[in-house]
Structure 1
Amino acid sequence: MQKQGYSKVPVFENGLAQPVFPFTDGKTGEDYDPHTSEIVRYCVYVESDYDMDGDGKRDLIKVLVQVPRSAAEGNYKAASLFEARPYCAGVQEDGYDHMKEVADKKYRKFDFADLDKKVPARVPAGSISAMELALKANPSDWYYKDKGNHDSMVYENLDHFNYYLVRGFAVIVSAGFGALGSDGFNFVGSDYERDAFKSVVEWLHGDRVAYADREGTISTKADWSNGNVAMTGRSYAGTMPFAVATTGVEGLKTIVPVAGISDWYSQQNMQGAQRYWPKEMLNSYLAYYCSSRYHDETLSEKQLDDMAAFHHELSLRQLKCGFDYDAKFWGSGNYRLHADKIRCSALIVQGLNDENVSTKQFEMMVKAFQKSGQTYKTILHQGPHITPTMPNKNYGILIDGKFYDDIVNEWISHYLYGVENHAEEMPEVLVQMNYDQKKWEASDSWDTDHTMKMECTGKGVTVIDTDWERAGISADNFDDVTAQTSTNMTQRFVTAPFEESVTIQGTVCLNIKAALKDGDATVDFHPENRNDADTLTMQLGVSKVSGKMDDIEIAVLLCDVCDEEFDSIQTVDPERNVIPVVTVKEGGIVNGGDLPAFNEAEFATVHKKYRVITRAFADLCNPEAGYEPETATNSIELKKGEYHDYHIYLNATRYTVQPGHSLAIVIATEDPVNCLIHKTYSVEIENNSVCAVVPVTKATKDCTLNLK
């Protein structure tokens, strides 16, 4: 029975879906009653085309469905908001310890060709409607302790999208292959992973079979679905929308990726050098971390061993690449290569202070949509690795005075329900200002027509080495020291103070001539494990595994510096992932309907004489490497004193330098925060070769860099 005061069908006003549906919680365990719940919840098992685990049956993918009861009862057809998030069905919190164990274990040889063995589809023995299935649903399918992390529950994102449920959207969640309840193996950045989530879209569109049971006997259709799907999520869950979009799958009308990855290689590496956190460099680490299927008590020892053997072989394959791009290993996760297949629109969201998923990723996504000819818009905020609304932390930030979810609501109401609300007239770029977070600026294009050159006219050479102790540098103070003074590890090149403000927008390219000055390549420059990484991961940067010299790092920072302290938004933790927020209005983010409001928040600021705007890493062994990840394929053997030209592309940024401030280019050897293998070497740089090409929003005079 429909509750009084609520609607049976979606209602749109001012271009937005309104909160006209009642809500009941799905996290109440034993108290959840499928006969009375206003939100219908149940699980299905979508059949894929693969038999990754070799049991002779096509792998099934567990999917959690949440949909307003009215749609399940047939009063209207609901559009779907789909989050593909490999973490949601549980994680393996012992990931780091596990990686230390696997290096010494023996595994059977796993043949990757076995992943592609063809097996016939199942033949259903019957069918069941969504409503019939929902009435039999047990909340223990989606609400129980995570065996891999006893401090949390599985499907911890269950209520992240309640805002949309009370407005008539269905919310779909899946962890994909290798998760508890699903078959197959978690294979980070692969076609298999991508296609698992593509299969879910196909089921929602009516083009694929799903089953009501793990055995795959009784089929069930999304009979409440209008066939239109939007994918969204942050980080890994922001990556999968882009991956699936590059398949051109029918039914996927739009994506809203938040801090999503366009290319797995350049997420973990930059121009042949390591850029990610030392303990998380192997894809097998992330694959294991997301493999809650290890906790499936119905699996035999052989099935568990097969999973472990697969993940170990994944490690060995990556070790052979070192830090270079290898098309066979990395090509499937280079989604931008398939831009021509994109058939949907995108609202791309990114934090400009995100040091987890690099800002290069959103820019490559933008370039892919430009190539595709499809509509896209970009929202850039000053935060770190967050979504502008954070339900699990009970806060949100305003986007140019608007609620983030209202903006997404308008976007998906247009693309999924055909509401004419001028959503496509949003500016191509909407960006929060670094000097005033209450101010947002709009731009018709991410590309700029102007560049500013910063050139060093100084003679002679600069020599930098890797002696952290002599430089007084550690993971705790790297930015503080390097932004404000030159050391034996770092050299600053600084402009005179700017008389007028200058706005950088895009990717800065630093050109230098450099040579290896000293270091013993025959012993891999005396590698040291300063960050306690596992021994298997440590092999990534040594020549005896990859067969070639690897990861002789150059780190580059672009900094805003001033003689006076100034307020800025920047990360405050050693791993550069945390920007504190302050509440400015309790209950200021309105969710509507029966839902509680979140607090309106702003980013906390720090008061320093510098702010790191953006950074980059490059390997001296990869002089051919440029912006595109695939250019980092070829590495060379360095010879002492032999100079090479390097073109180092910093992560994309939008930043305004205020009058009286200067820009500093800092060239360093190793960054202790991102240093997997500490090595002993020194680098020589021709000072007059140092030239940065900076994209700017208006014509600006070139300037000189001075050694300081």
Structure 2
Amino acid sequence: MRTGLVLLALILLPTFAPGAAHAAPRASEPVYDYAKAVRETVWVDIGRDGDGDGRADRVAADIVRPSEPTSRVPVIMDASPYYSCCGRGNESELKSYDGAGKPVKFPLFYDNYFVPRGYAVVLVDLAGTNRSAGCADVGGASDVGSARKVVDWLNGRATGYSAKTGGSAVTASWSTGNVGMIGKSYDGTIANGVAATGVAGLKTIVPIAAISSWYDYYRSDGATFGFNPDGLARTVEARNGGQNCTAQNQALAAGATANGDYGPLWADRDYVTRAGNVRASVLLSHGVNDLNVKTIHFGQWWNALNVEKKIWLAQTGHVDPFDYRRADWVDLLHRWFDHYLLGIDNGVQNGPQASVERQPDQWADQSAYPAAGAIATTLRPGPSGTLGTAPTSGTASFTDNPSLGEDTWVTNPGSAALSYSTGALTSDVQVSGTTSVTVTATPGTSSARVSALLVDLGPATIRNFAGSGEGIKTGTTENCWGSSTSGDDACYRITSADVKKVSYTILSRGWADLANYASLAQERPLTPGTAYTMTFRLASTDHIVPRGHALALIIGGTDGSFIRGPAQPGRVTLDLARTSASVPIAGVVPAATTHPALDTSAFVPSAGRADLR
């Protein structure tokens, strides 16, 4: 018997990689048996009755954790509305259960890889989705509370049960209380929202292509993208019968006013304003060509955070780094969670703050984001089509045509947009951060939109972010990341870069309703013939415009690729002396240039759109 106990101790002791005698552990090791892991569901009371059935809503937390006798373990959590309706990851994996309702399939590789290394993985169904009671509220108190209350339960501050209704109380006696939240898109958004509550026990978050303010997902400085949160709520609730979410969905529809104003519904879902509450470290990833969760989301969130943080910026669209830089990403996640959840001093928090994809599969580390040396530089459009730092004068006009979009504006703008260019640059210029554009515009009608683009004019090979894979191609062979069971394998199809040659690159975009010139909270009527000054944001980025290329600023009315047009599209005149762009630039842009008219004959359109998943 004594020999057996010694053998068991030898099996369980090396939870971390062994080093020299008495050396501190440097990495967790896969010493736990994944096949024997505990798989269970706990329903956590979130203290709300979102579906109005007279009972407090309980959300389902599916758990997989080591079964061996051990000390308590930390938790990696992914809270999502998509576990039954839409799927997670590049292969759209769904949860599955056995005949008794015990969880079998945990989407993504987190359980396969981390449970053998001494972690629990908890996948939470947001209220109103899959096996949870209640209703989804698209980033509001119900969604965020669904995950926060599970963090509380893992720390002994909330009540969990063995069933959706009734059942017995269950405690998380196996949990250290240290939680790291991770997820892409909606899931990463919930991680942002929970972190913004300042909840104790949440040690780190890994938001991937995540929303930081739901207003900026559905609206942009007063302009509207043409879709609303109640539609998303109905989509994620569709697979969860039995609850009545009519009232909640009507509240979403009513709160998301059609005019694009920033009101109470959006304020409740604006995590940026509460970023000061964040205590967790942040490992952030985003595609700089994400036309779904647009890049303003990572830029404003990043700038508002005052915690330990790192960032990856890819050339992709709405894609998880597991599917464009897999081995490096898994290694980084391993070290990140080891450090912040297990307390291993592995130095992951040190070194370069940012890693940026400059060309497909070619990455460069930089000490900071925005790049060190990037300075807000005022660029001014000139009446002859120039763009530089010198003051200008004069006026220029465009006629709003909502049927045209950004690629036409670059290749053949006609009268629908105004194009200004630096001419060929004599040295590289890096645009790193968030640009803002100020216009002084005189509308010819009582309603007007204003949109702007920053464009790198010159040939390049980029990821085909407008393609079906948003910059990746999915192969047929697989590689494996962790342990497998018959119901939950750790193997995923290998991806590669989908590349495309282009003659220009749109590196930043922004849109506004001129009627919100004085306030985003309330639009004001416009008087034709009266000049209005408005500043609006372009999307955050990190992009190098090479020597020999030109940097262009294009200003027009309704960018039909993205926003809805005004009630009365018309002619808009810009006062060039009071129109400019504040661009975060490392490098030198000429004060003014004289260059021939831009030849757009060889330019090929390259944009596209995606959905939230």
TM-score, normalization: structure 2? 0.84
Q: Does 1:21 align with 2:32?
A: yes
Please list, as runs of the form range in 1=range in 2, the aligned pairs for 1:308-707 lying within 5 A after superposition.
308-319=246-257, 322-326=259-263, 328-370=264-306, 374-390=307-323, 396-397=324-325, 403-433=328-358, 435=359, 437-446=361-370, 448-449=372-373, 450-458=375-383, 460-467=394-401, 473=404, 478-518=405-445, 521=446, 552-562=448-458, 565-573=459-467, 578-581=470-473, 591-593=481-483, 598=492, 601-624=495-518, 632-676=520-564, 679-682=567-570, 683-698=572-587, 701-704=590-593
| Displacement of 1:138 | 4.8
| Displacement of 1:444 | 3.1
Q: What percent of counterpart residues are identical?
A: 24
Contact 2:79 2:126 in 1 (8 A): yes
The Cα offsets for residues 233-292 of structure 1, whole Å up to 9 and x where unpaired, read as 000000111111111112111111111111111122111112x4x3xx211111111114
Report the Cα distance in structure 2 between the residues aligned to 1:460 and 1:446, rounded to whole angstroms. 33
Contact 1:410 1:421 in 2 (8 A): yes
Q: Does 1:246 align with 2:166?
A: no
| Displacement of 1:439 | 2.9
Match of 2:80 among 72, 77, 85: 85
Match of 1:201 among 143, 147, 151: 151
Please list, as runs of the form range in 1=range in 2, the aligned pairs for 1:159-170 lying within 5 A after superposition.
159=109, 161-170=111-120
Report the Cα distance in structure 2 between the residues aligned to 1:40 and 1:429, rounded to whole angstroms. 37
Match of 1:44 among 42, 45, 55: 42
Report the Cα distance in structure 1 between the residues aligned to 2:171 and 2:265, rounded to whole angstroms. 36
Counterpart residue number, 2:138: 188
Distance 1:445 1:57, change over 3 A: same
Query: Counterpart amino acid of 2:236?
Result: C
Contact 1:446 1:506 in 2 (8 A): yes
Unaligned runs of 5+ in 2: 19-24, 88-96, 384-392, 599-613
The Cα offsets for residues 634-658 of structure 1, whole Å up to 9 and x where unpaired, read as 3211111111112221100000011
| Displacement of 1:680 | 4.3
Counterpart residue number, 1:530: none
The Cα offsets for residues 157-209 of structure 1, whole Å up to 9 and x where unpaired, read as 26554222232211111122112322221111212321221000011122211
Report the Cα distance in structure 2 between the residues aligned to 1:42 and 1:255, rounded to whole angstroms. 24
| Displacement of 1:601 | 4.1
Contact 2:64 2:111 in 1 (8 A): no
Report the Cα distance in structure 1 between the residues aligned to 2:30 and 2:435, rounded to whole angstroms. 44
The Cα offsets for residues 300-353 of structure 1, whole Å up to 9 and x where unpaired, read as xxx53xx2233123212323x620101x22111111222232222111111111
In structure 2, the residue corresponding to 1:226 is in which secondary structure?
strand
Report the Cα distance in structure 2 between the residues aligned to 1:140 and 1:3, rounded to whole angstroms. 32
In structure 1, the residue corresponding to 2:31 is in which secondary structure?
coil
Contact 2:230 2:253 in 1 (8 A): yes
Distance 1:596 1:171, change over 3 A: closer
Contact 1:91 1:292 in 2 (8 A): no
| Displacement of 1:52 | 2.5
Contact 2:406 2:561 in 1 (8 A): no
In structure 1, the residue corresponding to 2:65 is in which secondary structure?
strand
Query: Counterpart amino acid of 1:496?
Result: G
| Displacement of 1:142 | 4.3
Contact 2:137 2:248 in 1 (8 A): no
Report the Cα distance in structure 1 between the residues aligned to 2:539 and 2:309, rounded to whole angstroms. 20
Report the Cα distance in structure 1 between the residues aligned to 2:54 and 2:246, rounded to whole angstroms. 19
| Displacement of 1:420 | 0.9
Please identify which structure carries the higher helix content.
Answer: 1
| Displacement of 1:502 | 0.7
| Displacement of 1:455 | 1.7
In structure 1, the residue corresponding to 2:336 is in which secondary structure?
helix
Query: Counterpart amino acid of 2:80?
Result: R
The size of the alignment, in residue pairs, is 562
Contact 2:427 2:588 in 1 (8 A): no
Query: Counterpart amino acid of 1:271?
Result: D
Contact 1:383 1:603 in 2 (8 A): no
Counterpart residue number, 2:93: none
Contact 2:369 2:433 in 1 (8 A): no
Please list, as runs of the form range in 1=range in 2, the aligned pairs for 1:210-359 lying within 5 A after superposition.
210-274=160-224, 276=225, 278=226, 281-292=227-238, 295-296=240-241, 299=242, 304=244, 307-319=245-257, 322-326=259-263, 328-359=264-295
Contact 1:63 1:172 in 2 (8 A): yes
Query: Counterpart amino acid of 1:443?
Result: S
Match of 1:11 among 13, 16, 20: 16
| Displacement of 1:156 | 7.0
Distance 1:384 1:161, change over 3 A: farther
The Cα offsets for residues 555-588 of structure 1, whole Å up to 9 and x where unpaired, read as 21111112xx432234224xx98223376x966x
| Displacement of 1:87 | 1.5
Query: Counterpart amino acid of 1:397?
Result: R
Contact 2:74 2:341 in 1 (8 A): yes
Report the Cα distance in structure 2 between the residues aligned to 1:385 and 1:20, rounded to whole angstroms. 35
Report the Cα distance in structure 1 between the residues aligned to 2:286 and 2:60, rounded to whole angstroms. 29
Distance 1:337 1:235, change over 3 A: same
Distance 1:602 1:221, change over 3 A: same
Contact 2:38 2:67 in 1 (8 A): yes
| Displacement of 1:21 | 3.1
Counterpart residue number, 2:611: none
Contact 2:295 2:540 in 1 (8 A): yes
Counterpart residue number, 1:123: none
In structure 2, the residue corresponding to 1:481 is in which secondary structure?
helix
Contact 2:111 2:120 in 1 (8 A): no
Report the Cα distance in structure 1 between the residues aligned to 2:312 and 2:290, rounded to whole angstroms. 14
The Cα offsets for residues 649-702 of structure 1, whole Å up to 9 and x where unpaired, read as 110000001111001111122222323457541222234443222112346544
In structure 2, the residue corresponding to 1:16 is in which secondary structure?
coil
Report the Cα distance in structure 2 between the residues aligned to 1:582 and 1:483, rounded to whole angstroms. 31
Report the Cα distance in structure 1 between the residues aligned to 2:414 and 2:218, rounded to whole angstroms. 27
Query: Counterpart amino acid of 1:16?
Result: A
Distance 1:424 1:158, change over 3 A: closer
Distance 1:467 1:455, change over 3 A: closer
In structure 2, the residue corresponding to 1:639 is in which secondary structure?
coil
Query: Counterpart amino acid of 1:310?
Result: Q
Distance 1:237 1:428, change over 3 A: same
